[in-house]
Structure 1
Amino acid sequence: MIVWLNGTHGVGKTTTAALVQRLLPDSRVLDAEKVGETLMDVSPGLPATDNFQHWAPWRPLVVDTARRVLEFTGGTLVMPMTVLVEAYWREIRTGLAEHGIPVRHVVLHADRATLLARIAGEHAVPSPFRLQYVDAYAEAARTWLHAAAEVVDTTHLAPDEVARRVADVVGAGAAPGVSTPSTTA
């Protein structure tokens, strides 16, 4: 199984992934960003883009990497990765389904003020990359993302509480404070 932790940059996916991995037996963290970093190292470089997810090879490589790791290790992969383009999410989800890999799609959410404060508090100068996706996340959340996932509102939760909520969602259905979508898209 894959537990895909989605949400905008700076919401706490990487921190949560490490904590969730400790709560789920026989689980490992696989960061799909590393697949993108590999593509960024191709020389000469691939066509210019502001996000490696726009490169067509990234999505099937994520699927194949996850599939192969699961074939090798079994268990559960916890995958922290922002995917805000619905077509990209559907491509990944469909690819994993074609290999018979169940996916629990969990979106970590924080209200705008909390998210901006978290991003500002990370470094002396807030990350322009993270800031540029705040509005894109809000639009994706409004139009498709929250309907395609189970949402954990992290606004007033400590990281260990977020991880417990995610583990509860994965292990026993929706936990209190978690909205469950009417679709499994």
Structure 2
Amino acid sequence: MIVWLNGTHGVGKTTTGALVRRLVPGSRVLDAEKVGETLMDIEPGLPWTGNFQDWPPWRPLVVETARRVLEYTGGTLVMPMTVLVERYWREISAGLAEHAIPVRHFVLHADRDTLLRRIEEDTVLGPSEFRLAYVEPYAEAARTWLHQEAEVVDTTRLTPAQAARRIAEAVARG
């Protein structure tokens, strides 16, 4: 099974994902961003689009990587990865379904003010223009399709540990 943690950049997916891994027996974290980073390392580079998710190889490589890891290890993969383009999410989820891999899709959500404060006050990355650039695209995706496609966990008033516990409990309930 895959526990996919979606939501905009800076909402806490990576932190929450690490905590979910500790709470879900037999789970591992697979960061699909690493697939994008591998593609970014190709020399000479692929034609830059502004986001590696736009490269056609990224989405099937995410599916294939997850499939192969699950085939090798079994268990659950916790995948913290922002996907805000509906077509990309459909491609990934359909690819996983073709291999009969169940996906629990969660969206970590925070209200706009909380999200902006978290991005501005991040002590590791500092204020991030990259993260700020995705606040509006996330709001549009949430409004038009994303929140209908996933279980929304409103983290506005939750710590990452509380959010992780809610997700782990939902996964355990089936």
Matches of 1:82 and 1:8 in 2, distance apart?
6
Matches of 1:109 and 1:169 in 2, distance apart?
16
Give the CA deviation at 1:126. 1.1
Partner of 1:122, secondary structure, is coil
Partner of 2:121, secondary structure, is helix
Report the more deviating stretch, 122-131 or 74-83: 122-131
The answer for unaligned runs of 5 or more in structure 2 is none
TM-score by length of 1: 0.92
Matches of 1:58 and 1:125 in 2, distance apart?
28
Q: Given the alignment of the two structures, is residue 36 of structure 1 paired with residue 36 of structure 2, yes or no?
A: yes
The residue correspondences of 1:1-185 to structure 2 (distance < 5 A) are: 1-123=1-123, 125-172=126-173
The answer for unaligned runs of 5 or more in structure 1 is 174-185
% identical equivalent positions: 76
User: Amino acid of the residue matched to residue 4 of structure 1?
Assistant: W
Contact kept? 2:119, 2:126, Cα under 8 Å: no
Matches of 1:158 and 1:149 in 2, distance apart?
20
Report the more deviating stretch, 129-138 or 119-128: 119-128
| Greater relative CO (CA pairs within 8 A, separation 6+) | 2
Q: Deviations over 1:26-63 (max 9, x none)?
A: 00000000000000000000001211000000000000
**Once superposed, which parts of structure 1, at least 4 consecutive aligned residues long, lie more than 4 Å away?**
none
Q: Deviations over 1:134-177 (max 9, x none)?
A: 0000000000000000000000011110100111121115xxxx
Matches of 1:125 and 1:64 in 2, distance apart?
33
Give the CA deviation at 1:125. 4.8
How many equivalent residue pairs?
173
User: Amino acid of the residue matched to residue 33 of structure 1?
Assistant: E
Matches of 1:146 and 1:26 in 2, distance apart?
28
Cα RMSD of the aligned pairs, angstroms, is 1.0
Matches of 2:135 and 2:127 in 1, distance apart?
13
Matches of 2:93 and 2:157 in 1, distance apart?
30
TM-score by length of 2: 0.97
Matches of 1:48 and 1:102 in 2, distance apart?
32
Paired position in structure 2 for 1:183: none
Matches of 1:151 and 1:169 in 2, distance apart?
11
